[in-house]
Amino acid sequence: MKTSPTAVARAMMAAGAHREAEVVLHGVLARDPQEAECRAAMGRLDRGEPMPPGPATEPTLEIVDEWIREGMLVEALAVLAAGDLGGPASEWADLLGELLAPVPAHAEGAFVEMHRQLLRGGASVALTILEDRLRQGPVPAWAERRLELLRWMLLDNARSAPASQAPAGEAPTELAAALRAGLAERSVEAMRERARAFAEAHPGDADAADAVRVLELLAGEMASLDEADFLGAQTVPVMGRPAAAMQLRMANLEGAKSIYGKLASKQPGGEVQALADAVRGLLRLLEGRPIVDRSFPPPPKEPRSLEVELGIAPAFADKTALDEAAARLAAGAGAESTKVVENPLAPFDEETRVLETPAEELPREAGSGGPARFEDDTRPVSEDELPLDAFREDRTVEIPIPQDLADGDADGDVDDDKPTQRFDRSQVEAAMAKAGAASPSSGSPAQSSASPPAAGSLSEPSAPASGPITAPSEAPPAESASSSRPPGGDAEDEAAKDFRDTDRIDDVRSLWPRPETDIREDSADDDPTMLSPETAVRHDEGSPLAEPDVEPGAELGSAPPSPAPLPAADTDVVVQRIQRIGEEEA
Amino acid sequence: MTASRPPAPGWTPPPATEADGRALVLYVDVDDQSWRTSSQRLRRAYRLLRAESDREACELIRTYGDDMVAVLLDIDLPGSVLDGILLTRILRRKVPAQALPPFARNLPSLDVPIVLVTERPESYSEVELRRYGGDRVMAKPVDIGRVTLAVTEWHLRR
């Protein structure tokens, strides 16, 4: 069981070694800033409070040995400096002091990074950096000495340390026993040799063959990273595969599994995933379990990387049903012969053909050399074809302002307390009937729909424009709708004037022929559906509707923007519909 | 690392030279015996510059201050105007310039740990010495493990 550094620091603190105990906590936080227990203890010490209560573990040489092998060099040195533990403690303290000593002030980057890694628990990474730097060229004597010390601490001592990673108890299988014997030597290569020998002695053992393949994969990874040139690539192997390979060199399978697992979670698939699976499989073999359970047929699944590496991935069928059907068709009598495509890569490529019709035979537009167009824009247009009603001021309807809106808030907001005016369906249809019977052009949608949304009938077009006419149950009483009309007039006539046929606009929107860009490009003077400035409703300066920044449609909340003016060609359709509705009502 | 483990690689550090490349440490101490013992221990990883007086220490700081990774100051400096504590306060710029002797003026600022060494460490409060700008108090002669631990703590606290 791993010794808790906080527990050791607590015991050191109790013994009076306050500074050394703090260094232990600092060392832990340098390796893992998220370590909660140390973080809480360090926070209390920084505030001048005692450490939180908890278990205390007296420091021993065994703990120091364990920490050195795990790369916790700062914590180990702090424990050794706190008091004499006897035996080789003094020598170890000197060696750690030498190893952790700062590099010269202007040392090259590799040495600075090496020292940084040593202080942050990356001893194996620091060793890799130094080895790579040594391959680049000669290094100072002190750097060679530190490399020697690191090798001795991490590798030589690791191999001489007891094989604490082997599972406890008797080995359940002969293969597991052979692998454990290799692990006791703290060497993946030794494990591989023992696995090879076992596989040769037991040629029919599939697990032994798997073990050999897995160990060869891991040994190959170690060898390839030994030859890698990290410093030449201007990168420093802070973590990652070099660190995992270093764990493999120390035969620390759990450490390698942890690093490979983290790497594989970030980059699933590929070599790292295969290595992670290999380490996991090796640990299974050490426990006497096979890498792949062969007692059941494997379910059809996506082959994993390790299975591919091991050659046990489920293979695809040689022939599919489609292949067999094709073969039968090709061999069977009466089968329709397949047309041979000369260019199988591009069987559908089109060829450009030359028009055989002479150019002289094409109709030409008068006065030009080009071909004639289908539309003749020189044809005179009768007055009936042009929607000129909007220019007739005598037919323009002046839109009255509802009294409740005109007397609204000064800022132009619609009072939330006031219900939005809506029309009853019967009222609207009656008004449309009247309008259609009196004068089709006076209530034409081209005219009415072009009215600005800031007009007095602000709420009327907005509500029905979003869909069918409001249901009577949802609509306010008819009195409220009629109250917005000028007093003294015929209610239906006024409704016909006020009402804009936007409730039926939805029916004709599918006929909208003009793209929106054309509408934007039209000026108000050119568009016959736009109201002229003289006919636009004028508001008093005090009226809230006179505010230029106010968007009336937006003020209502639920009301969508008023529809764009209909082109003249569609007004006839709408007028005809209104007339038809009026006739039906009549 | 029990008795059955292989022995640590032996190494006799070469004599310190200008081009050695080891980390530079200023050691201010008048006591020759302490200096010999401490330097013997520290030279495995450090290149030591010795000063026997406050004036000499200021000269070395002006010359090699940029290369130093730590300063070891004896608290008692017989024969000097400044003792180790006052020199620490000067190096940490806790003394007004007009109160300094001429040789101690315009010293470069040192951003390295300052370790105060003494034969009687129990006589000094570490909290008080830290208030003056020191980082650790150690008994003479110093050893490499504790010096390195003081420098490491200084690095980890930053």
Contact between chains at B155 and A61 (C-beta distance less than 8 A)? no
Residues A504 and A579 in one domain: yes
- Rounded Cα distance between A51 and A5, Å, is 13
> In chain A, which residues have their Cβ closer than 8 Å to the Cβ of B155?
102, 119
Beta bridge partners of B68: B24
My answer on whether omega of the bond before B141 falls inside 30° of 0, hence cis, is yes
> In chain B, which residues have their Cβ closer than 8 Å to the Cβ of A102?
23, 69-70, 151, 155
Residue of A64, A142, A148 with shortest CB distance to B21: A142
Residue of B8, B136, B152 with shortest CB distance to A100: B152
Contact between chains at A104 and B153 (C-beta distance less than 8 A)? no
Domain finish residue from A250, A276, A310: A310
Amino acid of residue A106: H
**What is the full per-residue pLDDT of chain A (586 aa) written as tens digits?**
678 899 999 999 999 888 899 999 999 999 888 888 888 998 888 888 888 888 899 999 889 988 888 888 999 999 999 988 888 888 889 989 999 999 988 888 999 999 999 998 888 888 888 888 988 888 888 888 888 888 888 776 555 554 455 666 677 888 888 888 888 777 888 888 889 999 998 888 888 888 899 898 888 888 876 655 444 443 444 467 877 887 788 777 877 887 888 888 877 778 888 888 888 888 888 888 887 766 665 555 565 666 666 666 655 555 566 667 667 666 654 444 455 555 555 545 555 555 555 555 555 544 444 444 555 556 665 656 555 555 555 555 556 665 555 454 444 444 444 444 555 566 666 666 665 555 444 444 434 443 444 333 333 443 334 344 434 444 444 444 444 444 444 555 555 455 444 444 444 444 444 444 444 444 444 444 444 444 444 444 444 444 444 444 444 444 445 555 556 556 777 788 888 888 888 7
Domain finish residue from A160, A182, A201: A160
Packing angle of the helix pair A36-46, A5-14 (nearest 10 deg): 30
Q: Where are the beta strands (DSSP E) in A202-295?
A: none
Residues A408 and A539 in one domain: yes
Q: Is A229 exposed, middle or buried (0-12, 13-18, 19+ CB in 10 A)?
A: exposed
Residue A469, token pair as written in the block: 């006419």
Domain range for A482: 386-585
Q: Is there a contact between B120 and B84 (Cβ–Cβ < 8 Å)? A: no
- Rounded Cα distance between A265 and A306, Å, is 15
Residues A118 and A189 in one domain: no
Beta bridge partners of B137: B116
Sign of the torsion angle spanned by Cα atoms A381, A382, A383, A388: negative
Residue A366, token pair as written in the block: 């008068």
Residue of B70, B143, B151 with shortest CB distance to A94: B143
Residue B148, token pair as written in the block: 């390195």
Q: What was the pLDDT predicted at A204?
A: 85
Packing angle of the helix pair A270-286, A206-226 (nearest 10 deg): 130
Domain finish residue from A310, A334, A361: A310
Instruction: Please count the other Cβ atoms lying within 10 Å of the Cβ belonging to residue A391.
Output: 12
Q: How far is A298 from chain B (nearest CA, A)?
A: 47
Residues A89 and A178 in one domain: no
> Among the CATH numbers 3.40.50.2300, 3.90.1150.10, 3.40.50.150, 3.40.50.11890, which is that of B23-157?
3.40.50.2300
Exposure of A455 in the CB half-sphere (CA atoms within 13 A)? 25
Backbone torsions φ then ψ of A160, nearest 5 degrees: -85, -10
Residue of A87, A101, A148 with shortest CB distance to B148: A101
Domain annotation covers residue A88: yes
SS3 A101: coil
- H helices of A70-205, in order, are 73-82, 89-100, 109-119, 123-136, 141-151, 157-160, 174-184, 188-201
Region of A477 on the Ramachandran plot (φ > 0 left; ψ -120 to 50 alpha; else beta): beta
Q: What was the pLDDT predicted at A177?
A: 86
Residue of A20, A119, A142 with shortest CB distance to B156: A119
Residues A465 and A546 in one domain: yes
Residue of A30, A94, A106 with shortest CB distance to B145: A94
Residues A181 and A116 in one domain: no
Better-predicted residue by pLDDT, B63 or A66? B63
Asked if the C-beta of A37 comes within 8 angstroms of chain B's C-beta atoms, the answer is: no
CB pairs under 8 A between A and B: 121
Q: What was the pLDDT predicted at A550?
A: 42
Q: Is there a contact between A502 and A465 (Cβ–Cβ < 8 Å)? A: yes
Residues A156 and A179 in one domain: no
Domain ranges of chain B: 23-157
Domain annotation covers residue A167: no
Q: How far is B6 from chain A (nearest CA, A)?
A: 7
Which residues have a Cβ under 8 Å from the Cβ of A471 and sit 6 or more positions away?
Answer: A425
Could you tell me the CA-to-CA distances from A566 to A422, A506, A539 in Å, in that order?
A: 23, 12, 25
Which residues have a Cβ under 8 Å from the Cβ of A127 and sit 6 or more positions away?
Answer: A147, A150, A151, A154, A246
Residues A149 and A11 in one domain: yes
Residues B13-52 have pLDDT tens digits of: 666 555 567 899 999 999 999 999 999 889 888 999 999 9
> In chain A, which residues have their Cβ closer than 8 Å to the Cβ of B23?
101-105
Structurally, how many domains does chain A consist of? 3
Across the beta sheet with B68-74, the strand order is B46-51, B23-28, B68-74, B114-118, B136-139
Nearest to B150 by CA among A85, A143, A100: A100
Window 82-121 of A, Cβ < 8 Å to B: 87-88, 91-98, 100-107, 119
> In chain A, which residues have their Cβ closer than 8 Å to the Cβ of B2?
61, 65
Q: How many residues does chain A have?
A: 586
Long-range contacts at A478-485 (CB < 8 A, ≥ 24 apart):
A478/A424, A478/A427, A480/A419, A480/A421, A481/A421, A481/A422, A481/A423, A481/A424, A481/A427, A483/A402, A483/A403, A483/A404, A484/A400, A484/A402, A484/A403, A484/A404, A484/A405, A484/A421, A484/A456, A484/A457, A485/A400, A485/A402
- Rounded Cα distance between A424 and A469, Å, is 8
Q: How far is B158 from chain A (nearest CA, A)?
A: 11
Residues A86 and A23 in one domain: yes
Contact between chains at A160 and B5 (C-beta distance less than 8 A)? yes
Asked if the C-beta of B127 comes within 8 angstroms of chain A's C-beta atoms, the answer is: no
Asked if the C-beta of A61 comes within 8 angstroms of chain B's C-beta atoms, the answer is: yes
Exposure of A458 in the CB half-sphere (CA atoms within 13 A)? 29
- Residue in the structure block whose two tokens are 């340098």: A30
Residues B80-106 have pLDDT tens digits of: 999 999 999 999 988 888 889 999 988
DSSP assignments along B54-109, one per residue: HHHHHHHHHHHGGGEEEEEEES--TT-SS-HHHHHHHHTT-S-GGGS-GGGTTPPP
- Residue in the structure block whose two tokens are 């074809």: A385
> In chain B, which residues have their Cβ closer than 8 Å to the Cβ of A163?
none
Asked if the C-beta of A152 comes within 8 angstroms of chain B's C-beta atoms, the answer is: yes
Could you tell me the CA-to-CA distances from A535 to A451, A530, B84 in Å, in that order?
A: 9, 10, 97
- Residue in the structure block whose two tokens are 């804009």: A500
Q: What was the pLDDT predicted at A517?
A: 47
Q: What was the pLDDT predicted at B74?
A: 95
Backbone torsions φ then ψ of B50, nearest 5 degrees: -105, 135
Q: How far is A152 from chain B (nearest CA, A)?
A: 7
- Under DSSP, the state recorded for A364 is B
> In chain B, which residues have their Cβ closer than 8 Å to the Cβ of A142?
20-22, 45
- Rounded Cα distance between A424 and A430, Å, is 10
Asked if the C-beta of B77 comes within 8 angstroms of chain A's C-beta atoms, the answer is: no
Domain annotation covers residue A109: yes
Burial state string for A170-193 with b = 16 or more CB within 10 A and e = fewer than 16:
ebebebbebbbebbbbbbbbbbbb
Residues A222 and A140 in one domain: no
